[in-house]
Structure 1
Amino acid sequence: MSGSLPHDVLIDVLTRLPIKTLIRCACVCKSWYSLVTNPSFITTHLNVSSNNSNDLVLIRSVYGDDANQVNYSLLRCENEVLCDYAKLELPLKTDNNHYLRIMGSCNGLVCLSHDYVLYLWNPSIRKTIALPPLRVNFQSHGAFVHTIGIGYNAQTDDYKVIRIVYLHKTNNFQPPAEIDIFSLSTGTWRNISHLGPPHIINQWALPVYLNGAAHWISYGKRGENFFRLIVSFHMVDEIFGEIMLPGSISGSNHSGLSVLVAKFQESLSLIDCHWRNDTWCIWVMKEYGISDSWTQLFNIHASVGLRSVVGFTKKGEVVLRFYSSTERKGEVLLSLYSNTERKMYLSISGTTFYADAYTESLVLFGTKFGNTGTCTDSPILDGEGNGARKSLKRRANSAHSFMPKHLES
């Protein structure tokens, strides 16, 4: 079928198609299957999608009497309004009713953690990969805390997951850290503990990926005084870096309870939480890596019931969490558009929220993980040729549970 079109024209056409249509195209013939699952095509499609796709936000809400029920969904920002786009089904079942913690996202991939097992999940294609066993665990090293980062090496077209572990020493957790990095291209972990920074990374603050690096809020020490800073890890050269915070919020005497790192319209940003006066200050780094370029963008003053800043959309919409006495489950989301301060209430109930800008992609489509991990809901791993395409066709025909209605026809 593709013989009537020049190869470059065919690629140009296919890279403009939505995810579900491309999955169906992979069912047409072996040559199209090979083309759509080719890493080069997946990267090209991602680049086109990033420039032309909808402004999507991935939402996770946790609810239930014992916080054991979880909903995942995508919201779309249309005309400065967030509306429903797709309900997502996570193809993982956990024991003890524990929900998986989101540890960051990159190019449509979401990193999940449960009981020290890590997964990569692409909601767009309903594919989940369990990463190989971790080197550092309770049985091998005793008590520890850890944090995770995910990112992309554009030079080698490879996705990486970095795990930073602090062991329990002298009644607390402290450096040096045990550090391992996973490469999707090889399917293996490597120990890079010798590269670790002399700082403590906040395990509860989610990392942010931008400009080729993962970023965490961290704590350093000068003499007896602690200070805040951002620690970065660059995926290409695998080197840690440091970015200083604005002087007014870096010191240990800062009145705010917490500082979070975030991404605001493709720029590194900070959410400075001042609980004493119920204010959230949003800072943006105008020139990446230049500490003097930190600029206080705007403040959000707490209204009745406002709990916290949850995240941002690609275009700068601020997603907030607030308490509502009229909701049976107590809390819902509020969208506050930063430029006009126009508010819109979203009917999403829960007690714990995650929100982050999301880009649909084909990443992991066609990935063969060998014996180093397992894959869930992956028709690509069922076999080659016609067998794989038949399984893929069944997946495409049953994809209504996660695809937007305007793509179902």
Structure 2
Amino acid sequence: MQSRGPDVLVVSFADDNNGDDEATTERRIVFGSSIVSTFRFPTWNTLLCYGSCDGLVCIYCFYSPNIVVNPATKWHRSCPLSNLQQFLIDKYDKQECDFPDPKLGFGKDKLKGTFKQVWLYNSSEFGLDNVTTCEVFDFSTNAWRYVHPASPYRINDYQDPVYFDGSLHWLTEGKECKILSFDLHTETFQVICKAPFLCERDPVGDTMCILDNRLCVSEINGSAQLIWSLDSSGGNKTWKKLCSINLTVNIDWFMSFSFPLSPIAILDETKLLLQGRNSLEHRVIYDLHTKSYDLLFDPKTGYAVYYYQSLFSALSNKFVIIFFLPMNLL
């Protein structure tokens, strides 16, 4: 992690029968100091938590158990259904399909070393009286439970929660947008800072991401997409503009600029990897200095996440070490 940039993992969801399809064939591309690779999950789950945590990625669906996978070792573990998922299954069985689609968060309690999944969703859309509802799955107990009190602020449920430095983060709703943090050790919510540049605008255009090991916010501002970086050095939290992307450029690689591009990672300090919100769109390198675009590759499908490979399966509470022996010693 210290010697080179982050890897990028493009996760494709496909049936085993499509194993020979170019869209689902695993591949590996070296880009500067980073590696871009694809990994295919033969599962019906088609949603992916933002980023990765200690080499693990979490895939989920509203109607089936969430699965945590280590792509390097193929190790995986499924989780029991949450109360929210069971509630949505019941509504689906009754053919009641008009409900929101909450986003799952996945991260790690840095002090205990345990991993957790978190559902945080606005309550009124589900007929509940409280402002938000929070469910946490602790892998050390293998059970879901409610967290009280939940967030006192409604969240922007268009964007995915982002894990960074022991906490999950959301953007809040309202004219004065805030960065809401959930500490995975204390299981408490707090506002870590305001985002004054996000006010009275369409929340669909706002996203959070991790770039260059910093929490960042991306917004649509007229014909440009601005990416802001949160600087916490010196004990003060200040926002700095990382870059401005011109959305009026005619680029055939993206189907539409009506939604913001998704920043994935900064590669080799000056190259920003972007993808469209649609998983069928290309992965494009944007040069922060020359303001130019270059096609990295076209995976046809899948979601890209920054990724650091690990051979450990920490969710089993054991470290698994894999030895590779020459054939003449086996």
Q: Please, what TM-score do these two structures have when normalized by structure 2?
A: 0.75
Residue 163 to residue 75, structure 1, CA distance change in 2 (3 Å): farther
CA shift, 1:106, in A, is: 1.3
Higher RCO by CA contacts (8 Å cutoff, separation 6 or greater): 1
Query: Is the aligned partner of 1:213 residue 2:167?
Result: yes
Task: Calculate percent identity across the aligned residue pairs.
Answer: 19
Which of residues 124, 129, 136 in structure 2 aligns to 1:181?
136
Q: Which amino acid aligns with 1:299?
A: S
Residue 148 to residue 322, structure 1, CA distance change in 2 (3 Å): closer
CA shift, 1:365, in A, is: 5.9
For the residues of structure 2 that align with 1:191 and 1:300, how far apart are their CA atoms? 40
Do the aligned residues in 1 keep the contact of 2:58 with 2:69 (CA within 8 Å)?
A: yes
For the residues of structure 2 that align with 1:56 and 1:122, how far apart are their CA atoms? 14
Residue 57 to residue 348, structure 1, CA distance change in 2 (3 Å): same
Do the aligned residues in 1 keep the contact of 2:135 with 2:146 (CA within 8 Å)?
A: yes
CA shift, 1:190, in A, is: 2.1
Which of residues 88, 106, 110 in structure 1 aligns to 2:39?
88
Do the aligned residues in 2 keep the contact of 1:175 with 1:199 (CA within 8 Å)?
A: no
For the residues of structure 1 that align with 2:188 and 2:25, how far apart are their CA atoms? 34
Query: Is the aligned partner of 1:359 residue 2:311?
Result: no
Q: Which amino acid aligns with 1:147?
A: K
1:1-400 equivalent positions in 2, closer than 5 A: 50-52=1-3, 55-60=6-11, 71=24, 78-79=31-32, 85-90=36-41, 92-94=42-44, 100-104=46-50, 105-116=52-63, 117-136=65-84, 137-138=87-88, 143=99, 145-169=101-125, 175-192=130-147, 194-220=148-174, 226-247=175-196, 249-252=197-200, 254=201, 258-274=205-221, 276-277=222-223, 279-287=224-232, 293-302=238-247, 303-305=249-251, 306=254, 307=257, 308-315=260-267, 316=269, 317-321=271-275, 331-341=281-291, 343-350=293-300, 354-364=303-313, 367=316
Please list the CA deviations of residues 369-404 of structure 1 after superposition, one character each: whole Å capped at 9, or x if unmatched. 9xxxxxxxxxx9xxxxxxxx9xx89xx89xxxxxxx
Mark the runs of 5 or more structure 2 residues left unpaired by the alignment.
15-20, 326-330
Task: Find the structure with the greater CA-based Rg.
Answer: 1
Do the aligned residues in 2 keep the contact of 1:243 with 1:291 (CA within 8 Å)?
A: no
Residue 75 to residue 173, structure 1, CA distance change in 2 (3 Å): farther
Alignment RMSD (CA, Å): 3.7
For the residues of structure 1 that align with 2:315 and 2:230, how far apart are their CA atoms? 38
For the residues of structure 2 that align with 1:319 and 1:173, how far apart are their CA atoms? 40
CA shift, 1:61, in A, is: 5.9
Mark the runs of 5 or more structure 1 residues left unpaired by the alignment.
1-49, 64-68, 221-225, 324-328, 370-379, 381-388, 398-409
Q: Which moved more, 1:116-125 or 1:333-342?
A: 333-342
What is the DSSP-based 3-state SS (H/G/I as helix, E as strand, rest coil) of the residue aligned with 1:201?
A: coil
For the residues of structure 1 that align with 2:276 and 2:103, how far apart are their CA atoms? 27
Q: Please, what TM-score do these two structures have when normalized by structure 1?
A: 0.62
Q: Which amino acid aligns with 2:160?
A: L
Residue 148 to residue 337, structure 1, CA distance change in 2 (3 Å): same
For the residues of structure 2 that align with 1:255 and 1:163, how far apart are their CA atoms? 23
Aligned length: 297
Q: Which amino acid aligns with 2:228?
A: W
What is the DSSP-based 3-state SS (H/G/I as helix, E as strand, rest coil) of the residue aligned with 1:138?
A: helix
Please list the CA deviations of residues 220-279 of structure 1 after superposition, one character each: whole Å capped at 9, or x if unmatched. 4xxxxx4322211111211111134432x2321x378511111111111111123x41x1
Do the aligned residues in 2 keep the contact of 1:264 with 1:312 (CA within 8 Å)?
A: yes
Residue 145 to residue 336, structure 1, CA distance change in 2 (3 Å): closer
Do the aligned residues in 2 keep the contact of 1:213 with 1:235 (CA within 8 Å)?
A: yes
Residue 62 to residue 299, structure 1, CA distance change in 2 (3 Å): farther
